[in-house]
Structure 1
Amino acid sequence: MRAAIVYYKDKHEKLLRNLSEALAKGLEEQGLTVDILDAKTMMSKLAVYKFIAFGTESTGTFGGKLPEGFTEFLKSSGAMISTRTFAFVLKKGFNPDKSLLSLMSVMENEGLFVVSSEVFSKADEAIKAGKAINVKSGL
C-alpha cells in the first residue's frame, strides 16, 4: 500500500523532515511504501495514496495557529475524501496540543478521516507512532 508523509514547514524544516523520515521508518515496518513530500515544493496530487500523514508546526506565541497557506494547500491537493490520515505537529512553543487540534479540524473539514494524531519532539517517538498506527483497518 502506498502512503505519503506531507510536511508543511514554516521555520523548522530540518526537524520536520527528520520527524517525517522517522515516521516513515515505522510505517515501512508495517509493509507500506512511503513517499516523503515537502508540501511547498510538491507537484503531485495526493489522491493516489491510501494513507497520508500531515505534519506541521505551531505558529503564534500561544499555539493553535497553523502556518499561513496550509489550509489552501490542503484544499488544492486533490480529491481525498475519506482517506485515512494521521496528524502530527512539532513540540515547540506553548500549547502544541492546541495546534494539533487545529490541524485535525482543517483535515476533517476537507473530508479526511483522521485515525490518530501525535505531538512529536524526538525521532524515536515518530518511529514508535509509525509502527503503532492502524493504517489498514477498513481498507
Structure 2
Amino acid sequence: MNDLEVYGVESIKEVAGFFNGDINIQPEVVNTREEFYNSLSNYDSDFSEVKGQEDIKRALEIAAAGWHNVILIGPPGAGKTMLACRRPSILPPLSLYESLETTKIHSVAGKLAAVDALVTIRPFRSPHHTISDVETGPFRTCL
C-alpha cells in the first residue's frame, strides 16, 4: 500500500505543467501504516464518559457486539445524540483497509479535514429528525 506516489497540486494548471515537464513537483511521502496506528481510536467522545443511562448503554453495547443498527427515540434532552455520538468508541477499530476506503469516500465528498491524512475512527452521521426518505442532508457530526 505504500508504493503509490502521490503528488499534491493546487490547480489544474500545475497538473498540466507537471505533465509537460515545465514544473517539477516532488511526491508527498506519507507512511500510511504509521499514520494509521498513531491516530487509531483517537475519539473526541468516549462511551466511558456516560454516567447513568444503564439500560440504554447495555442496549447499545449489545447492538454494537452484533453489528446491529440502532434507532433512538425519546424526548429532547434525554441523551439520545450524546449516546449515539459515543457509540463508535465501543465498536472494533477500523482496519487499515477500512480506514483507507473511508478516507477515499470522505476525500471525494469534500468531508476530509485538511489536517487529517486518514480517517481512523468509524464515521457517525446523525440525520435531523425532519429528514425525509429522499433527502441526503442535513447531517450533524459529533464535535
Higher relative contact order (CA 8 A, sep 6+): 1
TM-score normalised according to structure 1 size: 0.24
Report the structure number with the largest CA radius of gyration: 2
| Higher fraction of helix | 2
TM-score normalised according to structure 2 size: 0.24
